[in-house]
Amino acid sequence: MSNNKSDPKSPGEYGICPHCNKKKLRIIDQAGDGEITSIRLYCDACEWDEVLEFAGTKKIKFSHADYEKFRRIDQKPPFIARLLQVFIIDYKDLSGHFKVYDTTYYVEQETKYYNLPKRQLLVLLFEEKVTNLLFTTIRTANPEKLEYYERAQGDDFLVLAG
């Protein structure tokens, strides 16, 4: 994958450009043999062109690509995000508003909600690497996951879906 200003190969829209703040940033190339190792971004407005390398980067997978939380940060997987903080919380202590924010996704024109387990949970706070916007995800808590995510605070993750 080269970092030149050749014509973009695919129209995969990515989001808002961090340089010109226009919604003209898109993924134009992905590299990797069976596993994505880098993404090339290109802005049609200001011609910013950058390759994000993440070979060896941790991964977090979402069951759906079109979550409301991703719409709010104007991104769709794949993208890179830094894990900022891990919180432990019981399901009963989550507000209804937060449950709706974190679990809403879309399939065609239909709104759906991911079913959260009614037990102790982890809330992971991420910062998307290009726009620096924040989003969360809720995961089931267990000692292994807690230790993994606590050690990974400050690390970059490749956010995937599907």
Q: Among 127, 130, 126, 156, which residue's Cα sits nearest to residue 139?
A: 126
What the block records as the tokens of 74 is 């104007």
Over range 99-105, report the average pLDDT: 96
Q: Give the residue with greater pLDDT, 153 vs 53.
A: 153
pLDDT of 15: 67
The pLDDT-based confidence of 13 (bands split at 50, 70, 90) is low
